[in-house]
């Protein structure tokens, strides 16, 4: 099964997973409109591939008051967009044993960027995609530590757990529409997300090219849940993921029949 979408709007495309996936899409003949906060990187992306294949838009997704205007503008410029890829995120370490160092504002900002801003973008696109007669999709970059959290990353893990729940609920809610909801769940990947670790961060996790290969393979196979790697033993982790989804789907069927 091929990837049936022709033009991807990729949020968080200037570095790491987002940039690697943007490159892969264009290399396989799919147009990409890249979104990020850094104009110079967007310019480099467009220059590399040409304006017939690539475009770039500067937008800070944390400013949700401007989400609707951003979506209206980008769809006016690129009405053929049929896939929304929500990849942006931020990660910070917290020592929950030290109340004096806890920064609530930073914690809230991280949850807002990783979760609320993506929900806002999703619901700016859902009514647009539902009007299409052709297949559309919304792709989320989740995280394996949404399922088994890392104790030093409570904001990141909590926001990704919330995003995972939202993805499950959205997929169920849109099951009878032309919108496919896909979640890619990576392990740690060698990207700028881990720059706060210093030199160690550059080599922490799976090489980004390996991740991109596995994620793209899952997309081509038409999977709606692409788990890459595991937290701890793979058999145990995958069993948790599979049983949780099965339990969710059973509950969803019960709720549908009740109504």
Residue 256 lies in a domain: no
- Tell which residue, 188, 171, 14, 187, has the closest CA to residue 87: 14
- Tokens standing for 119? 């929900």
C-alpha–C-alpha distance, residues 92 and 112, integer Å: 13
Helix ranges (H only) for 14-90 are 16-27, 39-49, 67-77
Half-sphere exposure of 248 (CA within 13 A, CB side): 16
State residue 200's pLDDT score.
Answer: 54
Query: Is residue 243, in this structure, part of any structural domain at all?
Result: no
In a domain, 38, yes or no: yes
Q: What are phi and psi of 224, to 5 degrees?
A: -100, -5
Instruction: State the Cα–Cα distance between residues 211 and 217, nearest whole angstrom.
Output: 10
| DSSP assignments along 167-213, one per residue | HHHHHHHTTTSSEEEEEEE---BSSGGGGGGGGGGGGSSB-HHHHHH
Tokens for 69?
């205007």
Structure tokens at 175: 């099951």
Would you say residue 102 lies in a domain? yes
| pLDDT of amino acid 65 | 97
Residue 259, pLDDT score: 74
Number of domains in the chain: 1
At residue 258, the pLDDT reads 86
Residue-wise pLDDT tens digits, 72-88: 999 999 999 999 999 97
CATH number for 71: 3.40.50.720
Domain boundaries, position 95 = 7-233
pLDDT digit string, tens, across residues 89-116? 888 999 999 999 999 999 999 999 999 9
Predicted confidence at residue 199, as pLDDT, reads 60
For the whole model, what pTM was predicted?
0.93
Residue 242 lies in a domain: no
The residues, ordered by sequence, that sit 6+ positions from 72 with a Cβ below 8 Å of its Cβ are none
Residue at 12 is within a domain: yes
Q: What is the pLDDT of residue 191?
A: 63
Residues whose CB is less than 8 angstroms from the CB of residue 145 and which lie 6 or more positions away in sequence, other chains included: 153, 156, 157, 160, 231
The pLDDT value given to residue 196? 52
Query: Is residue 250 in a domain?
Result: no
pLDDT at 202: 58
CA dihedral angle for residue 59, residue 24, residue 111, residue 103, rounded to 10 degrees: -90
Residues of the chain with pLDDT under 70: 1, 191-204
**254 is a domain residue:** no
């Amino acid at each position: 099964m091929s990837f049936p979408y022709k033009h991807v709007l990729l949020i968080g495309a200037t570095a790491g997973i987002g940039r690697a996936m943007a490159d892969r899409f264009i290399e396989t003949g799919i147009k990409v409109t890249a979104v990020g906060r850094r104009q110079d990187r967007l310019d480099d992306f467009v220059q590399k591939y040409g304006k017939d294949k690539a475009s770039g838009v500067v937008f800070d997704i944390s400013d949700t008051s401007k989400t609707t205007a951003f979506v209206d503008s980008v769809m006016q410029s690129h009405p053929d967009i049929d896939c929304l890829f929500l990849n942006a995120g931020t990660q910070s370490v917290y020592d929950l044993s030290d109340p004096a160092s806890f920064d609530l504002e930073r914690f809230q900002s991280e949850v807002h960027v990783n979760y609320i801003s993506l929900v806002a973008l999703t619901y700016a696109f859902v009514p647009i995609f539902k009007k299409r007669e052709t297949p559309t999709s919304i792709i989320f970059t989740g995280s394996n530590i949404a399922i088994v959290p890392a104790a030093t990353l409570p904001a990141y893990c909590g926001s990704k757990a919330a995003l995972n729940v939202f993805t499950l609920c959205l997929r169920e809610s849109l099951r009878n529409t032309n919108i496919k909801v896909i979640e890619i769940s990576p392990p740690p990947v060698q990207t700028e997300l881990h720059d706060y670790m210093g030199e160690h961060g550059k080599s922490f996790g799976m090489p980004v090219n390996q991740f991109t290969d596995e994620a793209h393979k899952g997309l081509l196979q038409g999977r709606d849940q692409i788990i890459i790697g595991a937290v701890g033993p793979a058999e145990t982790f995958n069993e948790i993921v599979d049983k949780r989804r099965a339990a969710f789907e059973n509950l969803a069927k019960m709720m549908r029949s009740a109504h």
